[in-house]
Amino acid sequence: MNVIPTLLILLMALVVAFAQAWWGGLRGWIGVQVDLLPALMVCAALQTRLATVALLAVFGGLGFDALSANPWGISILPLFVVGLGLYAWRGLILRRQAFAQFLLGLAACGVVPLLTLLLLLTAGYAPLVGWGTIWQLAVMALVGGSLTPPLCRFFEAGQLALSYRRHTQSSFRPDRDIRRGRR
């Protein structure tokens, strides 16, 4: 078991959570705070194990909620639902294609805020919802979707640099004849 991809994705989740809270570049221009944790969840669900997806949902959700106005822990379930769905269907997804990563990132960055909003409304909170919410969701989905392929490439490069590849070649040559019996 190699723990380096898990540690790398958790470190990236903390860096992403703190960087998006610290840097307010797009927030000042267009009034939208971009969330890159769903894009990171897409990369983790397509390239790592289910335990890593669950850890990313917990640590990323708690890190995001600690630095936002959300109640503590409300982002865990939407991140995990998206990650579990992608993990379950990753055998049918073209994982290395940038266009597929863009579409998955677009969907994930649009679904996670909607599920979080649904959980907030269900729990009795009163978030500000209006026509501007549609604009914010659209921009969050587009920016998150466009940043998903570079984020996946960065994660894949870090995983290749820090971990080893398994040796898949057999020690037996295919042209070798194995004789059995009493001859």
149 domain residue, yes or no:
yes
Residue 182 lies in a domain: no
What tokens does 77 get? 């379930």
pLDDT at 93: 86
- The domain in which residue 145 lies consists of 4-162
156 within some domain: yes
In a domain, 177, yes or no: no
Q: CA 46, CA 34: separation in Å to the nearest integer?
A: 22
In tens, the pLDDT along 51-105 reads 999 999 999 999 988 988 889 899 999 999 999 999 999 888 888 899 999 999 9
DSSP character at residue 166? P
Q: Which residue has the higher pLDDT, 4 or 104?
A: 104
Cα–Cα distance, 58 to 74 (Å, whole number): 10
C-alpha–C-alpha distance, residues 37 and 41, integer Å: 6
Residue-wise pLDDT tens digits, 27-39 = 777 778 888 999 9
Do 118 and 77 touch, CB atoms closer than 8 A?
no
Distance between CA atoms of 99 and 91, rounded to whole angstroms? 17
Q: Any residues with CB less than 8 A from the CB of 162 and at least 6 apart, and which?
A: 4, 8
If one counts the domains in the chain, the total is 1
> Is 47 a domain residue?
yes
Kind and range of the H or E run holding 176:
none
Is residue 169 included in any domain, yes or no? no
What pTM did the predictor assign? Answer: 0.84
Q: Is residue 170 part of a domain?
A: no
45 vs 163, more confident: 45
Alpha-carbon gap, residue 52 to 135, rounded angstroms: 32
Non-local CB neighbours of 33 within 8 Å, separated by 6+ positions: 20, 24, 26, 27, 140
**pLDDT of 94:** 85
User: Number of C-alpha atoms within 13 angstroms, CB side, residue 102?
Assistant: 6
Q: Does residue 171 sit within a domain?
A: no
Going by C-alpha positions, the residue among 143, 161, 135, 159 that lies closest to residue 48 is 159
Lowest mean pLDDT among 18-32, 69-83, 108-122, 130-144: 18-32
